[in-house]
Structure 1
Amino acid sequence: MGIHVPSNVPMESTPFKGMEFEADEIAYDFYNEYGRKAGFSIKKEYVNKCKKTGVVTSRRFVCTKAGVRGKDKRDQNVKNPRAETRCVCEARLVIILNRDSKKYVVSEFIVEHNHYLHLPSTVHMMLSQRKVAATHAIEIDLAHELGLKLKQSYELLSKQVGGYDNLGFTKQDHKNYLHTKRQRDMEHGAAASLRRYFSRQLKENPSYYFATQLDYEELIINIFWAEARMIIDYSHFGDVIMFNTTYSTNRDARPLGVFLGLNHHRETVIFGGALLYGETIESFVWLFETFLEAMSEKKPITIFTDQDATMLAAIKVVMPKTYHALYNWHMWQNAEKH
C-alpha cells in the first residue's frame, strides 16, 4: 500500500516532539482528535507506572492497525474466522513524565501509516472515534422516556446534526448506551427492591427459587424466579412446555419471559418467569440451565418457542434431546409479513 501521511490536519491539531500535556488522558484525547481529522483510530498500547505512587510515568498510543494478531486459539473448524485487520502500522505517539515540571512530554511521534486512511464520511465508524457525547446522552434519555424506539431515536438525532456522518456514533453504540444505562439503573434501583422481595418470599417459603445472572462488572443482566406451586406443577405437567418472550415488553425494552404448560384440565399453568436484559446465546443458556436446576434437572420432552435463533442455539446446548417446535402463531405472523 505504500506510505500514507495525513495531509489535511491543521498544524495546531498535530502533535510534535517536545509538546507538553498536563495529564496523560489529555494527551490521549489530543492524539485521538488528531486521528479523527487524519482518518485513523488509536488505542493505548502500554503504560508504565511508578511502583510506589502509582503515577503514570510513560504511555504509548498507537494506530489500531499496529502489530499482528496472535495465534488463533479457537476451534480450528470455525467456518467464518474473523478477518485480520492489523498490518504492523508504526504510527504512534509516546509521552514521558517530566518529573520537574510534572507534565507529560512527547518523546516520539511517528506520522506515517502503511495503510489507507479513512475518508471524512467513514471516520465516525472507527472505534476510538465512536462516542456518545453528553449532549446526545441527554437527548437519548429523553427520547427513551418518551417511549421512542431505538431506530426512531437514532434517526431523529442524525437529522438534527445533518446526517449519520456527523453524529459521532453508530446505532450499535446507541443501543449499548441504553443497555449499560438499564443495567446500572437496575443495579442501583430496581435490583435492590427485587432482592428484598425475593428474600421475603424465600423466608415465607423455603421452596421459593430465584437466581440472577451478572455480567463481568457484576451488574444484573437477567433474573429468573419460580414459586413453590410452579415447581410442583412442573413435576406433574412438565413434559411439554412453552417459553415466550412476547407477552410484555416495558419501556426499558426488557422482555418478560414465561415458562408455560397445560395441566390435566387443559388450563394454562406457569412454571417460572424471567426478566431479560440480555438476549444472547449465553444469556439463554444460563436461563435454561437455571430453569432446569430449579426443576430438579427434569428436562421436558418438547419445548415450544418463537423463531429466535439465539434461543434455538441455547436449547441445543442445554437440552439436546428435547424436541423443539415453533408456535403456530409465530408462523402465521411470519407468513403475513412475507
Structure 2
Amino acid sequence: GWCAMKGMPQVGMFFESSEEAWLFWRAYGGRVGFDVRKRYNNVSKFDGKVTSCRFVCANEGHRKKGQREFIQKCFRAQTRTDCKARMSLTLDQESENLEITDVVLEHNHLLHLPQTRHLMASQRKISEFQAFEIEAADDSGIRPQAAYELATRQVGGPLNLGYTPRDHRNHLQSKRQRELAFGQADCEENISNIFWADAKMMLDYAHFGDVVTFDTTFGTNKEYRPFGVFLGLNQFRETKVFGAALMFDETLASFKWLFKTFLGAHNGRQPRTIYTDQDYAMGRAVEDVFTEAYHGLCTFHIMQNAVKHLSPIKGEDEDEGEEKEEGEDKD
C-alpha cells in the first residue's frame, strides 16, 4: 500500500481507489512542501467507478480574469503560478486499479520550509486533545480569539500549534451544529421535535436557573409548529434564554420529551420554580418531569385567557344595549 512507500510517485504505480491515490499525493505534498488540489475526477456512468483523475499542485493554473477586479474587504495574495506539478491516473481494466500514467514533479515556485509545512491547508489537523481544549474553552465562555492565543502560548507560538484561527472557528461551528442533534424523529425519520441549547445558555442556567418560565406563544413557523422558549432573569433583571424548542404538537408526550431533554442538557438540575400557561398537557408534563419544582401559572396568560373568554359576553351586552337604545329612539 501507499503507506509503506515513502518515495516519489512514479509512472506504473497502482492504487486500489482514487481516495487512496489522493491520500498518497497529499502526504507527498506535505513531505515536499507544496499544497495540493484535485483537478478532475471522471466517473463511469455504468458502474460508478473512477476511470481517470488528476491531482495537481495548489498553484496550478491562473486566476480567472476579472475574478478579483471588484473591491475586496480582505486582500488575498496571488498564489496561482501555473505550476505544472501533477499526478494523473487511469483505470486499468485488467486489475481494476488506478495506474499512474503521467507525473510531473518540478515546481515553478518556492516550497514551504519544514517548519511551516504542517500549516498548509491540506496538512492542518486538529488533534483529539486540541479539540477537547477548544470545546472546553468555548463551554467556559472564553472567546475564540482569546482561546486561540492561549493555545499558541502554551506550545511556544502559532507555528507549533498545527492549526489556524480559521480552523478554530470552523471546529466550533461544527460543534454547534452537532449540538442541534437534540431532536426527536417520527417513524418516517422526519424531525418532529427539536431542542437547542448552546454553551452560553447552559452557563446562564447554571447561575440563574432557579426560576424558569416556559412559553409557547411567541410564534409558529409556516407549518404552524409551536415554538417554545425557556426564559429566566439574571441579577440585573435582564432576560436570559435557557433553551428553545420547535415542537411537532402540544401533546403530553411532546412536552414530556421536551422537559426531559431540557434537564438532560442542563445536567439534570431542576429549577426551584417553573411558570407556564394553563395548558392541561403542559401541566401534566411539568408534574411528571419537574418533580422538585414548584409549578406556578403566569398571570399574563391568566389575564389573556380571561379577556379571551369574557370579551364576547361583554360585546353581546353592548350590542343588546345599543339595540334597545335604537328602539327607544324609534318609540
Report the TM-score when normalising by structure 1.
0.49
Q: Separation in 1 of the partners of 2:68 and 2:128?
A: 38
Partner of 2:162: 168
Partner of 1:242: none
Unaligned runs of 5+ in 2: 185-190, 197-214, 230-237, 244-331
Partner of 1:97: 91
2:187 matches 1:193: no
1:52-97, CA deviations, whole angstroms, 9 ceiling, x for partnerless residues?
Answer: 1211122111111000111225774668764421010000111222
1:200-252, CA deviations, whole angstroms, 9 ceiling, x for partnerless residues?
Answer: 94xx68xx3669xxxxxxxxxxxxx999xxxxxxxxxxxxxxxxxxx799999
Q: Which has the larger radius of gyration?
A: 2
Partner of 1:123: 117
Secondary structure of 1:60 counterpart: strand
Report the TM-score when normalising by structure 2.
0.50
Equivalent in 11, 15, 22 of residue 21 of structure 1: 15
Partner of 1:55: 49
**Displacement after TM superposition at 1:127 (Å):** 1.7
Partner of 1:231: none
Report if aligned partners of 1:65, 1:88 keep a CA contact under 8 Å in 2.
yes
Partner of 1:182: 176
Report if aligned partners of 1:209, 1:226 keep a CA contact under 8 Å in 2.
no
Report if aligned partners of 2:182, 2:195 keep a CA contact under 8 Å in 1.
no
Q: Separation in 2 of the partners of 1:154 and 1:251?
A: 27
Q: Is the alpha carbon distance of 1:142 and 1:110 closer, same or farther for their aligned partners in structure 2, counting shifts above 3 Å?
A: same
Report if aligned partners of 1:144, 1:251 keep a CA contact under 8 Å in 2.
no
Q: Separation in 1 of the partners of 2:176 and 2:160?
A: 26
**Displacement after TM superposition at 1:43 (Å):** 0.7
Q: Separation in 2 of the partners of 1:179 and 1:138?
A: 14
**Displacement after TM superposition at 1:182 (Å):** 0.4
Q: Separation in 1 of the partners of 2:55 and 2:23?
A: 10
What are the residue-to-residue correspondences of 1:214-293 with 2, within 5 Å?
none
Secondary structure of 1:182 counterpart: helix
Partner of 1:85: 79
Q: Separation in 2 of the partners of 1:18 and 1:85?
A: 31
Q: Separation in 2 of the partners of 1:28 and 1:187?
A: 32
Equivalent in 8, 28, 33 of residue 39 of structure 1: 33
**Displacement after TM superposition at 1:18 (Å):** 1.6
Percent identity between matched residues is 39
Partner of 2:303: none
Q: Separation in 1 of the partners of 2:92 and 2:136?
A: 45
Q: Is the alpha carbon distance of 1:64 and 1:75 closer, same or farther for their aligned partners in structure 2, counting shifts above 3 Å?
A: closer
User: Could you tell me which amino acid in structure 1 is paired with residue 49 of structure 2?
Assistant: V
1:13-70, CA deviations, whole angstroms, 9 ceiling, x for partnerless residues?
Answer: 4222222222211211121111112111001110010111211122111111000111
What are the residue-to-residue correspondences of 1:136-155 with 2, within 5 Å?
136-145=130-139, 148-151=142-145, 153-154=147-148
Q: Is the alpha carbon distance of 1:166 and 1:13 closer, same or farther for their aligned partners in structure 2, counting shifts above 3 Å?
A: farther
Partner of 2:6: 12
Q: Which has the higher contact order (CA 8 A, sep 6+)?
A: 1
Unaligned runs of 5+ in 1: 1-9, 212-224, 228-246, 253-338
User: Could you tell me which amino acid in structure 1 is paired with residue 126 of structure 2?
Assistant: V
Q: Say what the alpha-carbon RMSD is for the aligned residues.
A: 4.0
Secondary structure of 1:183 counterpart: helix
